[in-house]
Amino acid sequence: MQGNHGSVFGWVVSRRTTIVLAVLLVLALFHAVILRFFAWPFQASSSSTPADYFCMHGNELGADGFQTYDATAEWHGKTAGRKILLLLPHASRIVEVGAVRSFEQTCLSELRKRGVPSADVWPIRADALDVWDEARALSEWLKEHPDATVRIGCNPFSSGRLRYVLSKVLGPVDAERVGLATLPDPECRVESWWRSRSGVKEFMYGWLELIHAWAKGDNAHAEMPDAATFQHEIRAQIGEAPR
Amino acid sequence: MKRAWHGWWPIIAIGGILMLAVTLNPWSLPWAARWLDVGSPPQKADAVVLLNGGLNSRPFVAAALVHGGWAPKILLNTVAAHPSEISGAIPPFFEINSRALEYGGVSRDCVVRLDSAAQTTFDEAQAVADYLADHPAQRLMIVTEGPHTRRSRWIFQRVLADRPVEIMMFSAPAEGFENENWWRSEAGFLFVASEYFKLFYYGLRYGWLGYKIVISTALMILLRAWFLRRRKLARSRSAC
């Protein structure tokens, strides 16, 4: 038992307590390094290899990534002849009922505002419900364009899952032709994710997406009835209130 | 000391594996979502509170409740502007919800706009509480997806604790998954798993969970100290 004790600042404490105190001290001093380490799947920088096409993906609420329209227009303007690909999602109910424009209409309009002609924007009819559908549609497109190289704009916290899905669906050869352009929100950066509420949320969702992709593989999504069918079903389920 | 720990490790490991097997079993996984879902059948209410989010489901359900005569109006918060909204790429969420409600047969006159620029469910509950100060109600029906109902109910009951209003939850179908198969789709996995994290965070931040953890830790330390002292006394007695 004698050897099991040590001295810290003159106090006699057990070896285990000393280790716990040391661990706490290391955590306090190096918490930023440790927390940054846990964001390793999202830290890969944007691909530096040149690409002929910039690919935008997202949903009816906008393209994935921060200020993606600005970044895409800037990329397009750098060299003549560059094209933009749009991976089109499945038309959602709020698009169907006219509450928002479709992803294609929004992207075309926003890019036009920034000087990108619509002729340089090529939609890919992916009818995607998730990133696996998007990867499959891109895979088909890459087969039809064997010399093309593509860069996909994305939120850094989604980049880990996106890279994993692309490598699974495209295979090693085609995956080499696709790079990622991470478009970070300055208010929730990967390097300091724990400092803001949105950063913590993005970090949590980023990891959950990645864990699901690793554990489950290809996504299984349920049927998505259209707006009219959904409304009919919901009304039947809810029924009328008693008078 | 070391021998004692060596004796405990297999029990802890087997217990952990058993717990994981039970928790991650397809038979038990639906319970994780069912526990979160505290929705009830529709009942007559003074207003429906349509929580922001789930744009492809919640407004359609809220509209069906008003259309069915369960409530005469809908309380709807504005939310802090989304980056796409600031750039003008998409309309404000209030507008998107209102258009979906119109599709469901609810006129704009039946929608009460609460200008809260909410960022969280807590903000939305606070705005409803402020509204109730001038417009008292006896019953509110909150519409959100099933796995979000437990946390929402907890928030509304907490914020409206000093008001004589009954809170009822109505579960809208989630987009792309059901309580019985949530782990199969990414949307379901994200929704249910993140709800548990959020419940834990809300418990720490706004509830008693933080105090409970501190008290339990202190109790465990005291118990351990008492146990060590007893063993030391027993040893010294046996040495004598």
HSE-CB at A183 with a 13 A cutoff on CA atoms is 20
pLDDT tens for B87-130 read 888 999 999 999 999 999 999 999 999 999 999 999 999 999 99
When CB atoms are compared, the residue of A61, A205, A224 closest to B84 is A61
Question: Cα separation of A227 and A230, whole Å?
Answer: 5
Q: What is the pLDDT of residue B113?
A: 97
Chain B contact set for A238 (CB, 8 A): 42, 61, 64-65, 68, 70
Question: Cα separation of B42 and A240, whole Å?
Answer: 9
Question: Cα separation of B216 and A24, whole Å?
Answer: 20
Question: Cα separation of A189 and A89, whole Å?
Answer: 27
Joined tokens for residue A120: 């340089």
Q: What is the pLDDT of residue A1?
A: 43
Joined tokens for residue A30: 């190096």
Chain A window 109-148: which residues touch B at a Cβ cutoff of 8 Å?
A: 109-110, 129-130
Report the 10 Å Cβ neighbour count for B43.
13
Chain B window 105-164: which residues touch A at a Cβ cutoff of 8 Å?
A: none
pLDDT tens for A117-149 read 999 999 999 999 999 999 999 999 999 999 999
Question: For tokens 């059948």, what's the residue?
Answer: B41
Over 80: is that where the pLDDT of A243 sits? no
Could you tell me if residue A149 is left (phi over 0), alpha (psi between -120 and 50 degrees) or otherwise beta? beta
Query: What residue spans of B37-117 are helical by DSSP H?
Result: 58-67, 83-86, 93-103
Q: Give the residue from A96, A95, A235 showing the smallest Cα distance to B60.
A: A235
Q: Give the residue from B238, B237, B240, B235 showing the smallest Cα distance to B1.
A: B235
Instruction: Measure CA of the first residue to CA of the last residue in chain B; give whole Å.
Output: 22
| Chain-centre distance for alpha carbon A197 | 18
CA distances from A215 to A207, A210, B19, B132 (A): 12, 8, 19, 46
Chain A contact set for B176 (CB, 8 A): 129, 221-222, 224
Are B194 and A208 a contacting pair at CB < 8 A?
yes
pLDDT tens for B174-209 read 988 999 999 989 999 999 999 999 999 888 887 777
Instruction: Measure CA of the first residue to CA of the last residue in chain A; give whole Å.
Output: 80
Residue A9 banded pLDDT, cuts 50, 70, 90 = low
Question: Cα separation of B77 and B114, whole Å?
Answer: 5
Q: Strand pairing partners for B172? A: B145
Q: Which residues fall within 8 angstroms of residue A96, CB to CB, at 6 or more apart?
A: A226, A227
* CB contact at 8 A, B146 and B187: no
The type of residue at A83 is: K
Give the pairing type, strands A5-8 and A11-14: antiparallel
Nearest CA in chain B to A101: B90
Are B185 and A69 a contacting pair at CB < 8 A?
no
pLDDT tens for B50-63 read 999 999 999 999 99
Joined tokens for residue B168: 């009822």
Quote the Cα angle for A193-A194-A200, to 5°. 75
Q: What is the pLDDT of residue B27?
A: 77
CA distances from A20 to A13, A14, A27, A60 (A): 11, 10, 10, 50
Q: What does the mean pLDDT of chain B come to?
A: 90
**Least trusted range by pLDDT, from A35-44, A203-212, B210-219:** B210-219
| Chain-centre distance for alpha carbon A2 | 55
Domains and CATH numbers, chain A: 47-216 (3.40.50.620)
Are A234 and B64 a contacting pair at CB < 8 A?
yes
Which residue in A17, A61, A109, A197 has the most chain B C-beta atoms within 10 A of its own C-beta, making it the best mutation to test that interface? A61
Give the pairing type, strands B139-145 and B47-50: parallel
Residue A10 banded pLDDT, cuts 50, 70, 90 = low
Report the 10 Å Cβ neighbour count for A231.
22
When CB atoms are compared, the residue of A100, A212, A219 closest to B91 is A100
| Average pLDDT value for residue range A95-113 | 95
Joined tokens for residue B166: 């009954």
User: Residue A104 burial (CB < 10 Å; 0-12/13-18/19+)?
Assistant: middle
Chain A contact set for B62 (CB, 8 A): none
* CB contact at 8 A, A102 and A94: no
Question: For tokens 């920034």, what's the residue?
Answer: A114
Task: Report which secondary-structure segment, H or E, holds A121.
Answer: strand A121-128
Which residue in A19, A208, A216, A229 has the most chain B C-beta atoms within 10 A of its own C-beta, making it the best mutation to test that interface? A208
Nearest CA in chain B to A187: B83
